[in-house]
A = this chain, B = another copy of it.
Amino acid sequence: MTQKKRIIVIGGSAAGPKSAAKARRIDNNAEVIILQKDADLSMASCGYPYYVGGYFDDRNQLLCTPTGVVRSPMFYLNAKDIEAKVNTEVTDIDTKKRSVSFKDALSGETGTLTYDKLVIATGAIPRMPPVPGVELKGITTLQSMKDADFLRKIRDEKTIKKAVVIGGGLIGIETCEALQLAGIEITVIELLPQLLTFLDWELAKLVENHVRSKGANVITENGIAAFLGENGKLTAVKLQNGIELPCELAVVAIGVRPNVKLAQAAGLKIGELGGIEVNEYMQTSDPDIYAVGDCVETLNRITGKKVHAPYGDLANLQGRVAGENAASTNCVTFPGTIQTGICKVFDYTAGSTGLSETAAKRLGYKDIITVINASPDKPGFMEGKLLVTKMTADAKTGRVLGAQCIGPGNAAKQIAQWAMAIQGKLTVEDLINADLPYAPPFSLAIDHFIATAHLMQNKIKGRLKGISCKEVHDKLQAGGKPFILDVRGPEEFEEIRLGIGETLIPLGALRKRLNELPEDKNKEIICYCKISLRGYEAQLVLEGNGWKNVKVMEGGIMAWPYTREK
């Protein structure tokens, strides 16, 4: 009988338990031990905002299996033959002795365990702004079960009237919604010029408009200067521009940094972004130690560069890889991420996969081409809801680089389609005739995704002369005087319009009213309609009649992120 292999996992949230469970399934004889600092195990931490927001009331739902069994140490022991020690903080890793030292948070007792293989899943730590007053009562993050309990209690007690969310990323936006649903007056503060930086500015602005329409206040390009308080309690936050916002609660959501304290002290290699460096086997610089989840750096599959991508789905997948490799030998690999992310924002969904235009440009990509498409997700008679997608491609190869999609429609399905297209290394031409599941309850006959590819094809072929709403707006701000042509119907114009000096000529009348257009055939003309399908037809009509500088405002009015006349 060979000796049992001992696999120790540090961390009991997502990646850790997954590593442990996979290791157990691969090696039925191994001794598998989880050391978890907190009291809870295998928390569905991405669900915290929905618990706080009241989507469900039973806290145990965040901790239990689909059949309702709480994932306690007893559960791990009985169902999986895994020893899970909770309230147990690892204080040291000795890579030479292959041992970990730990301390029981309740009893204070300490101990040491040797390992054959170690998996580090120590997660990430919320960043805190380096400003005075962070110690005041009423300031929290939403990162732990304890934080969720604290905020849920606030919801249930209904005593707090005003709160500030610091940070307009995924967690910030989810927290904003949760607290808004709790009846609290919310202001979101973001240092950058936009919310949700995985989106390009114009789509983020559409999301911001939606957040505002739900009653939440948004302040961008402004950071926090200090937390102000009385008697140790938060009373206001002071912004960098001097404004003071009275509030009794502040939730800090300005991102996380990998928790690498133990790994660093053990001499493991830390990457440039501050995460533990791992190879494709999720193995650290010490061959007996693996690391997974929010504490590591991951490969971006598109750029080949390392990124810090603290997402719950990746944590689980990495855990599965490390668990198998730790239990047998390096045999399975993790290919990296394309940084697919998604977020519910009140009645909107906002998602992204691959590279945004901003990200691609920052990374030095040349020959980037983008297009914006707005359309319903389903036919009108099936209550289709709007989607706005911005696609990024390599103009030379046609390769899809990324896509973002927002709106009240089913953006999750769209992003899933783009994510698979990118993982299949598909080009625009590959998507043109994609065969997707069509029936009216689920999509348009030509799905929004395919239509976006059609627009991109038309743009690459030089047929669609697209220009973004932002470019149009910037042009007008800079004093440009293009002829602006709205080709919708008069009733539509009465109901909603931009008011940027446009002339209304409905598409159906355009061929008969060409005399109302600029005599100068070289004059810049910008066409649009509600979503710019008719805008594109108008471009072709005008070009067919000799105008040489005709453009289409992509996505039309539905993609216009600025204020409208009406």
Q: Which residues of A come within 8 Å of B, CB atoms? A: 14, 25, 28-29, 44, 46-47, 50-51, 55-56, 58, 61-62, 66-67, 69, 75, 78-81, 170, 174, 301, 311-317, 320-321, 334-335, 337-344, 349, 351, 353, 375-376, 379-382, 410, 412-413, 415-417, 419-421, 423-426, 430, 432-443, 445-447, 450, 454, 463, 488-489, 492, 507-509, 511, 530-531, 534, 536-537, 540-541, 543-544
Contacts and interface: CB of A to CB of B under 8 A. Distances in A.
A202 to B, nearest CB: 20
Given A413-B413, A447-B313, A441 B61 contact: no
Contacts of A463: 25
Given A61-B380, A66-B375, A313-B438, 4 more contacts: A47-B379, A340-B436, A341-B437, A341-B439
B79 A534 contact: yes
A78 B508 contact: yes
A44 B379 contact: yes
Given A81-B511, A317-B446, A445-B312, A337 B435 contact: yes
A401 to B, nearest CB: 14
A376 B65 CA distance: 12
B443 A507 contact: no
Contacts of A14: 445
B321 A433 contact: yes
Contacts of A382: 47, 50, 55-56
A538 to B, nearest CB: 10
B439 A353 contact: no
Contact of A508 (B75, B353, B530): B75
15 contacts: A25-B463, A25-B536, A61-B379, A66-B530, A78-B508, A317-B433, A335-B433, A342-B438, A412-B413, A419-B434, A419-B435, A419-B436, A420-B434, A423-B434, A424-B425
Nearest to A81: B511
Nearest to A412: B442
Contacts of A544: 28-29
B436 A416 contact: yes
A75 B44 CA distance: 54
A530 B66 CA distance: 10
A439 B537 contact: no
A433 B78 contact: no
B311 A438 contact: yes
A5 to B, nearest CB: 14
B437 A415 contact: yes
Nearest to A301: B435
Contacts of A44: 379, 381, 440, 445
A66 B380 contact: yes
Contacts of A434: 419-420, 423
A489 B79 CA distance: 11
A441 B340 contact: no
